[in-house]
A and B are shown apart, each in its own frame.
Chain A
């Protein structure tokens, strides 16, 4: 499909900044703006961004034909606990699904942990007499006489939103639906979320958590989305606004208001979509995206231009980003590993004399010691300053004067003295530790997906991604790095590459041998109809594609393997092909298939989607002339372990086709690309930088 849009806008409301990007009919970014986020009313910051960006063009809001919005508001409301007073309603006998959870501590050696706060205290957990069985049959009808007592309890606790999660409701939703009707008939203002709609998957704990999180932010998000849309409409916007979701697709404002939980982490998803798009343009089928900002680094595997996805996400993990320490929700997400390693991450020395970096961050206030705003803890940025990789007079477009002496002093005091290292020696240590921990996170992430990192191409962005890319890549065995254009507003650019899509995952237990294809086709028909309706609301005419997935495993195993199904009704003779597809993927991940085992399927998924916009900006003229540096800096070379001179280039001045060799620094307003001495750099036709490693050997 060719994209018919003439003028498209993306707005990414982040925690600190709101990024706005405008794309024209030729699919080129023609304007961008970075405005401060206005937390009290984020619409204001968004409007300012759109105004500023459009002012750089000859267009007005009424000419805009496509508008994509992503926001951290949902995520922040969950993390900062700014949602509604929410109660949960479960089956009688099962009041403690949240309290009991997985009966597990997330940290083996820490006996003083607290379990994650799951929003609803036990006093707001209510039950109703009813019971549905695993096969969907009604074992005990819903006792409707309970409703008055329940309403009285909700009133007494001033409850604003209710999460209803009855056992096995994924198999039969009638009791949840009836209960909602009964509640709304009495209290029409209640926000009610049903688990059978929010997350129709077996496993009551995660389903309830997802429903609670949805209910918790639903009143806030519904209000925000309505006011955002009406505000832009009254300013003259004619086209509908589409919302970016965690899964990397777009959906309508109405759907977003019903399932606001699907809006969490949409910003990072935009970054991964961008990386997928860059990979496709460069025909790089196996990619690692590396997004390093001020507080965290996020890594994502992208195969065949499709970011790896998952059905599970944890909200508000405790410090150190420990798995299991947050609130689990089951939503379609782009799978990323996020660790507490960014420019602001604080370095220290532990009692064993080991350098530790992060996860504590100096943030932007007081920020790294180099910012001269009162920070006296050395950070990763301070290490980069001490290594000479950041130009003190040209940081953040010169808006912030870097204090080199403060960086040296903090490094010396907190890291150098305990280890008898100079400030530069300490900086080298800090860099090695933080780069290794990002590389380790990436390797671990790959192992968990049954994949390998080496031989991938890294696509690096974010404020610190281009600066650390070569150092992290080398430790991952990665030899090619691409730095896209506009690396600082990557997420917003990514929004404009996203399809309109909706994914539904539903539990229906089956064994492969005993598969009832008739029943399964009926299930798929209903899932596809439901997802299509949602997508059609956002894209009335586009041709739609559909992905059908079975999550299969050997009976007795816990790990499910995603197996694609053909996009048509299944027939009995497909079963052999399914078995082969499963076994092929299984042996790819685990060396060999296991003969004779029963294969079972617990979950089925459908994704209905428009094709992604076909975007291929014109390539610039090729420059075969030599390139001139704008200066030289003395830097510490991590490959040779000595101080060397590096050429400094302005990225805007580099034309496509330009080649240069490391060590070099390529500076642009939002970031610096560090070309290590074992890398060469080349400017591609699209304007992206390609860094290629040419020699091995990590010298310490």
Chain B
């Protein structure tokens, strides 16, 4: 390949990246699901005829990173290419093929150029409701969690499969929103296909083979070069998490070799009875995301940049849950896997890996109590998302009340109160909740809320780090654990249902991130500034940062 054609390949690569971003944006704007709107829980990708991913949108949540790449290969293998016709689109929401739980629908569309299939477009979006017990950890198996659609045709030569759509709608509490989201997905696939064809016309190419080879090989080489900077070795770590019925041990072994990075979850606890289990595709997505934040973050996601990362786990462990395990809330533990991975990686790269953070998002799904509806009262359902602090970074403090690894947007008090009869009486940072360190962990926040109209409502919790706070790194202290309770009542577990009656105040405190490095090494002016800003109390400062009392003891 000549260099001149490399420039045009690079231009086309940039174009593909722009096309998938455009598809992603269009999908988010049309979405009905709050989680899509607030978190960008979607993805869009372009694949070559072999099913190799060429470009994928960078969206708000990393949960689709590998899942889409693997799902397309699976679907492509199931349906012979010679049977595909222009206008066909395939669909599935199988958690073990698509993206880890039933709400995520994945579509695949073959792209034709001069009567030949030359590639595919694919997209995923989170639908509002698929029946069953709804979004929550209470299902005892996958059948409790709603409707599962095996891989099948959604569009046959442009004609929508009406029966399938009717079945999806008949099995949902939100049939119209589901239909709207499915149409948005179809439009997303079709637009991507059309733009791909236009690009091929414009650049005068008749297949994607050379372009795909260029993208994948360039990315693979770049990723290998980044891996080569990581010391070879075997790094083990175990992360204890709260779990549902009991605490759970997540274990990982990271093996860094010259040409690949292997991650294995052997030794991890078995599945829970409740829907916090994680299919391997989803655990892989968050794990690889965490690795790629440190190793070659500037290289776009595609078959070449993902190939050197191989994730495995024994079947039946909670990070490789098998059907029919319930998996609706797979993101609760899925979002903890970056801390697990970083526990390994920091042994290889101690100066690059942040401390543990709150990690799992602190969303607060709430619904009016069932009896309110029976009385004819105001019925509502709402899912504001909130977060704790991130772990301190080598060289920088953690971020207070900020999502990582997810990309959720926190909800605004005025919007929450306008949408539902709840009154939020406080939303402030928790002083002293960030782990002490040379670099301080991000602070958690304290939210207090009550019923605004004297009617009870229920809150459905599925959060982590109530029992196991975020640990510090390289001598940094842990952040403060999360804490949930009703006014003066006992602390509540992080998972399950909470009734908030008239007069009750739910106090919802998110965890702080861990600190990085020895607190004694913290710059005096930073400590003074934290005290002036009320992020650290002077009592805690004198306890955690002895420098303030002139006891320079290091």
A residues touching B (Cβ–Cβ < 8 Å)? 93-96, 99-105, 108-115, 121-123, 131, 133-134, 139, 167-168, 202-205, 350-355, 419-421, 425, 428-429, 432-433, 436-437, 440, 443-444, 447-448, 450, 475, 477, 509, 554, 556-559, 589-592, 594-597, 602, 697-700
Q: In whole Å, how far is A665's beta carbon from the nearest beta carbon of chain B?
A: 24
B515: Cβ under 8 A from any A Cβ: no
Cross-chain pairs A/B with CB under 8 angstroms, 12 sampled: A102-B410, A103-B401, A108-B60, A112-B393, A355-B10, A421-B4, A433-B11, A436-B15, A437-B14, A450-B29, A590-B187, A594-B176
Give Cα A202 to B418, complex, Å.
9
Question: Closest chain A residue to B223 by CB distance?
Answer: A352
B58: Cβ under 8 A from any A Cβ: yes
Q: In whole Å, how far is B307's beta carbon from the nearest beta carbon of chain A?
A: 15
Among the 9-residue stretches B78-86, B149-157, B177-185, B234-242, the one with 4 or more Cβ atoms under 8 Å from chain A is B177-185
Known contacts A112-B393, A433-B11: does B412 contact A698 (CB below 8 Å)? no
Give Cα A594 to B32, complex, Å.
10
Q: In whole Å, how far is A343's beta carbon from the nearest beta carbon of chain B?
A: 20
Q: Are B22 and A203 in contact (CB under 8 A)?
A: no
Q: Are A99 and B400 in contact (CB under 8 A)?
A: yes
Known contacts A421-B3, A590-B184, A697-B204: does B292 contact A109 (CB below 8 Å)? yes
Give Cα A122 to B536, complex, Å.
12
Q: Are A100 and B415 in contact (CB under 8 A)?
A: no
Q: Are B532 and A123 in contact (CB under 8 A)?
A: yes
B218: Cβ under 8 A from any A Cβ: yes
From B32, B204, B294, A554 is in contact (CB under 8 Å) with B32
Q: In whole Å, how far is B532's beta carbon from the nearest beta carbon of chain A?
A: 5
Q: Are B428 and A93 in contact (CB under 8 A)?
A: yes
Q: Are A447 and B410 in contact (CB under 8 A)?
A: no
Give Cα A139 to B218, complex, Å.
61
Contacts of B401 in A (CB 8 A): 96, 99-100, 103
Q: In whole Å, how far is B79's beta carbon from the nearest beta carbon of chain A?
A: 25
Known contacts A123-B534, A436-B11, A597-B176: does B417 contact A133 (CB below 8 Å)? yes
From B298, B396, B417, A350 is in contact (CB under 8 Å) with B298
Q: In whole Å, how far is A319's beta carbon from the nearest beta carbon of chain B?
A: 14
B6: Cβ under 8 A from any A Cβ: yes
Contacts of B274 in A (CB 8 A): none
Q: In whole Å, how far is B36's beta carbon from the nearest beta carbon of chain A?
A: 9
Q: Are B412 and A203 in contact (CB under 8 A)?
A: yes
Q: Are A202 and B414 in contact (CB under 8 A)?
A: yes
Q: Are B445 and A96 in contact (CB under 8 A)?
A: yes
Q: Are A594 and B3 in contact (CB under 8 A)?
A: no
Main secondary structure of the interface of A (DSSP, over half): loop
Complex A-B, nearest 4 residue pairs according to Cβ-Cβ distance, in ascending order: A103-B410, A558-B37, A93-B426, A700-B8
Q: Are A432 and B8 in contact (CB under 8 A)?
A: yes
Q: In whole Å, how far is B45's beta carbon from the nearest beta carbon of chain A?
A: 15
Contacts of A99 in B (CB 8 A): 400-401, 429
Q: Are B426 and A94 in contact (CB under 8 A)?
A: yes
Give Cα A123 to B529, complex, Å.
9
From A100, A433, A589, B427 is in contact (CB under 8 Å) with A100
Q: Are B183 and A591 in contact (CB under 8 A)?
A: yes
B138: Cβ under 8 A from any A Cβ: no
From A105, A115, A202, B415 is in contact (CB under 8 Å) with A202
Q: In whole Å, how far is B445's beta carbon from the nearest beta carbon of chain A?
A: 6
From B5, B14, B402, A436 is in contact (CB under 8 Å) with B14
B143: Cβ under 8 A from any A Cβ: no
| Most A CB within 10 A of own CB, among B7, B8, B13, B427 | B7
Q: Are A352 and B293 in contact (CB under 8 A)?
A: no
User: What 1/0 flags go to B171-200 for Cβ under 8 Å of A?
Assistant: 000001101100110010000000000100
Known contacts A108-B62, A447-B22: does B184 contact A168 (CB below 8 Å)? no
Q: In whole Å, how far is B345's beta carbon from the nearest beta carbon of chain A?
A: 12
Q: In whole Å, how far is A132's beta carbon from the nearest beta carbon of chain B?
A: 10
B397-448 contacts to A (CB < 8 Å):
399-404, 407-410, 412-415, 417-418, 423, 425-429, 445, 448
Contacts of A202 in B (CB 8 A): 412, 414-415, 418
Q: Are A112 and B395 in contact (CB under 8 A)?
A: yes
Q: In whole Å, how far is B349's beta carbon from the nearest beta carbon of chain A?
A: 12
| Most B CB within 10 A of own CB, among A448, A594, A597, A698 | A594
Q: Are B297 and A109 in contact (CB under 8 A)?
A: yes
Known contacts A122-B534, A123-B532, A556-B32: does B58 contact A109 (CB below 8 Å)? yes
User: What 1/0 flags go to B256-300 for Cβ under 8 Å of A?
Assistant: 000000000000000000000000000000000000111001110
Q: Are B32 and A353 in contact (CB under 8 A)?
A: no
Q: Are B62 and A558 in contact (CB under 8 A)?
A: no
B245: Cβ under 8 A from any A Cβ: no
Q: Are A596 and B176 in contact (CB under 8 A)?
A: yes
Q: In whole Å, how far is B465's beta carbon from the nearest beta carbon of chain A?
A: 16
Question: Closest chain B residue to A92 by CB distance?
Answer: B426
Q: In whole Å, how far is A275's beta carbon from the nearest beta carbon of chain B?
A: 23
Contacts of A103 in B (CB 8 A): 385-387, 401-403, 408-410
Q: Are B187 and A700 in contact (CB under 8 A)?
A: no
Q: Are A698 and B34 in contact (CB under 8 A)?
A: no
Q: In whole Å, how far is B264's beta carbon from the nearest beta carbon of chain A?
A: 24
Q: Are B425 and A93 in contact (CB under 8 A)?
A: yes
From B62, B202, B407, A104 is in contact (CB under 8 Å) with B407
Given contacts A96-B401, A557-B30, 9 further A-B contacts (CB under 8 A): A109-B292, A202-B414, A204-B413, A353-B218, A421-B3, A429-B7, A590-B29, A591-B183, A594-B32
B372: Cβ under 8 A from any A Cβ: no
B332: Cβ under 8 A from any A Cβ: no
B38: Cβ under 8 A from any A Cβ: yes
B341: Cβ under 8 A from any A Cβ: no
B133: Cβ under 8 A from any A Cβ: no
From A95, A122, A440, A596, B15 is in contact (CB under 8 Å) with A440
Give Cα A139 to B423, complex, Å.
10
Contacts of B208 in A (CB 8 A): none
B317: Cβ under 8 A from any A Cβ: no
Give Cα A617 to B298, complex, Å.
52
Q: In whole Å, how far is B3's beta carbon from the nearest beta carbon of chain A?
A: 5
Q: In whole Å, how far is B200's beta carbon from the nearest beta carbon of chain A?
A: 12
Known contacts A102-B409, A203-B412: does B30 contact A590 (CB below 8 Å)? yes
Q: Are A425 and B534 in contact (CB under 8 A)?
A: no
Give Cα A205 to B411, complex, Å.
10
Contacts of A589 in B (CB 8 A): 29-30
From B180, B183, B429, A96 is in contact (CB under 8 Å) with B429
User: What 1/0 flags go to B448-460 for Cβ under 8 Å of A?
Assistant: 1000100000000
Contacts of A509 in B (CB 8 A): 418
Q: Are B428 and A354 in contact (CB under 8 A)?
A: no
Q: Are A700 and B413 in contact (CB under 8 A)?
A: no
Contacts of B14 in A (CB 8 A): 433, 436-437, 440
Contacts of A114 in B (CB 8 A): 396
Question: Closest chain A residue to B410 by CB distance?
Answer: A103
Contacts of A93 in B (CB 8 A): 425-428, 448
Q: Are B533 and A123 in contact (CB under 8 A)?
A: yes
Known contacts A440-B18, A590-B187: does B6 contact A100 (CB below 8 Å)? no
Give Cα A350 to B32, complex, Å.
39
Q: Are A105 and B11 in contact (CB under 8 A)?
A: no
B498: Cβ under 8 A from any A Cβ: no
From B3, B26, B407, B408, A420 is in contact (CB under 8 Å) with B3
From B3, B225, B452, A419 is in contact (CB under 8 Å) with B3
Give Cα A448 to B18, complex, Å.
12
Give Cα A101 to B297, complex, Å.
25
Contacts of B425 in A (CB 8 A): 93, 131
Contacts of A110 in B (CB 8 A): 293, 297
Contacts of B399 in A (CB 8 A): 105, 113, 115
Give Cα A105 to B58, complex, Å.
13
B21: Cβ under 8 A from any A Cβ: yes
Contacts of A602 in B (CB 8 A): 418
Contacts of A139 in B (CB 8 A): 423
Give Cα A104 to B399, complex, Å.
9
Question: Closest chain A residue to B34 by CB distance?
Answer: A556
B214-228 contacts to A (CB < 8 Å):
218-219, 221-222, 225
